[in-house]
Structures are given as structure tokens and as C-alpha cells.
Amino acid sequence: MQVFLAANSAFKGISDMAKYEKARQLKNHIGKVRRDYTKGMEQGKPVEQQQHSVAVYLIDKLALRAGNEKDTDEEADTVGCCSLRVEHVIDDAGENMLHLKFLGKDSIEYNNTTAIEPRVYTLIKQFCRNKKPEEQVFDHVDPSALNEYFKTIMDGLSAKVFRTYNASFTLDAELQKTDAEVTEQKKAKEGAVNAYFNYYNIANKNVAELCNHQRATPASHGAMMEKFDAKIDKVREELADAKKAKNANKVEAKQKQLEKMTAERVVKDETKNVSLGTSKINYNDPRITVAWCKRHDVPIHKPFPKTLLAKFSWAMAVEPEFKF
């Protein structure tokens, strides 16, 4: 019989905190990892070492899964970094651009084009040369050896820790830009809390895209946008009427309402095909969000619904100055 812990249990909280602390610890070792794979990709190195180094590069920079995990659907042809085949590398993106298209974990398609280092681009082209579409790109990489290498870097290090590290690092870095991105003008137009929260959602969207937390655009999205546009048009008309009537207070109020609604529309449209919840639940250190909310007086219930407030109760006492 399997026993599952409640999301808000004390033991689960300790487990979550340990997971994020492990990812946070990786920042003390990431420099060595990057020096190792940069050196391992040098010309003249054995192909085994070059392939190992490029695989680690992709796990680090693209937040790819290692690719040796078992998928719950045994019939699904799901792959990850180590199990990439030549057919998954689409040669249509130009110099130093990598287009990968494959079925990832939980049968979610990965279909992204990313700028990569010139040396990585050259080596991937070499690894694919004279191979059939169904052959492995990294035919000299043993996933178990890759995991053993990770353990020599840091106790408990795995590809999943890289995903958590890069997701949290990206969110933290994006939120550090808040003061520059959320200007006084934006706060005046949209209202401070709304301006901050809209920016937070875009920052989290960048994390979701990094981790390939995609979803199909909801069937209702088009209709929702039409309703949004109708409401915006109505506010525009009311603003025009207020201007004609020379009602300064109403003009100011309608202008703020229009700016707020327009900003919300942009966020809803930009996040239509990414799942913002997955990164919040599994990959973003919640202390980053809690500390950011405290620094900018954003109510914590804005980014975290009740379920996440309970799940991350252990993170609520973090200081505003916390940095991942």
C-alpha cells in the first residue's frame, strides 16, 4: 500500500525546503560544471567526452530532462536529452540556432528554437552527420555515467536539480529587474499592485517557457479576448465622453481603468499557451515569491492561491532581502 503525504503536511514542507535548498546549493558548483563542459567540448577531445559535455550543456542551458526516466505511458515515444535522435534535431533555424522537436515527459511536445554556443552548434552537426534519422545523437553517452558525474560535483545532483535551479534562478533574476520594469508611470496608470502582479506573471511565463510547461491554447481564449476587447472599447467610449464633458476626475479614473485593463489583456494573451502553475508548484523556490511580495507590498494571495499558501507555509517567514 502506498501512502501519499498531504501537500501541506509538515513532512512534505521539510521535503520541499530540502529540494529547493539543494537547488540553491548548486549555485556554488555551477561554475565548475560549466568549466568542465566547456573544456570537454574543445577540438581534439575524444568524441565520448565531447558528447558528454554537450549533453550537460543542454541539460544546463535548456533545462532538458536527462531522458532516462520511465514514462507512465509505456507506448509513448518520449525522450529527453540523452535519448535524442537525429530526427529530433530540425535543421531549419540557421547558424548557431538549435531547433529541437520531440515528445517529452507526460507526452508534452518540446518544440523550441534556441540560440546556442557556436562550438555546441558545430558539435551537434558533427554528432548527427552520416546518421539515419532514427539513430541517437548522443550514441556515446551513458545516462548512468552522466548521473555518476553529477554526483562527483555535488551530493544528490541530478538533471532535475538543474531544472529547479535554473527555474528559480531565472525567476529571481527576472524579479530583480522589477524596479526598472515597473516604473512609476506604470504604477500610476495600472495601480501599484496590478502593475507588479502583471510583471510577476510575465516573469513566471519566462520560467514556464524555459521548462517547456506548455499547454494548448484554451478553446475559450478567443471568446474571452473578444469580451475583453468589448469591455476595453466601452471604457474608451466612456473616457471620450468624460473628455467631452470636461469631467477631469472621471477622465483620470477612466484613463487608469483603461491602462489596467489593457495591461491585463496583454498578460492573458501572452500566457495563453503556457502553464504558469507547474513552475510555481514544482520548480520555483517559493521564498523568491514571498520575499518579492514583501519588498513590493504585493498581497501574497495574488500569486499564491489557498492551496499554495498551505503547501508553502514553511516559506512565509522568509526575509524580504532573500535572494536565491
Rounded CA separation 103/115 (Å) = 21
Rounded CA separation 102/107 (Å) = 9
The H or E element containing residue 121 is: helix 118-128
> How far, rounded to the nearest angstrom, does the alpha carbon of residue 262 sit from its chain's CA centroid?
24
Rounded CA separation 197/187 (Å) = 11
What are the angstrom distances between the C-alpha of 218 and each of 206, 271, 272, 273?
19, 11, 7, 8
The strand pairing partners of 100, in sequence order, are 89, 112
Rounded CA separation 92/98 (Å) = 9
Contact assessment for residue 153 and residue 29, using Cβ atoms and an 8 Å cutoff: yes
Contact assessment for residue 16 and residue 311, using Cβ atoms and an 8 Å cutoff: yes
Contact assessment for residue 286 and residue 7, using Cβ atoms and an 8 Å cutoff: no
Rounded CA separation 83/70 (Å) = 12
Question: Does the annotation count 283 as an active-site position?
Answer: yes
Catalytic residue among 20, 110, 196, 283: 283
As a residue count, the chain comes to 324
Contact assessment for residue 90 and residue 100, using Cβ atoms and an 8 Å cutoff: yes
Q: Provide the annotated active-site residues.
A: 283
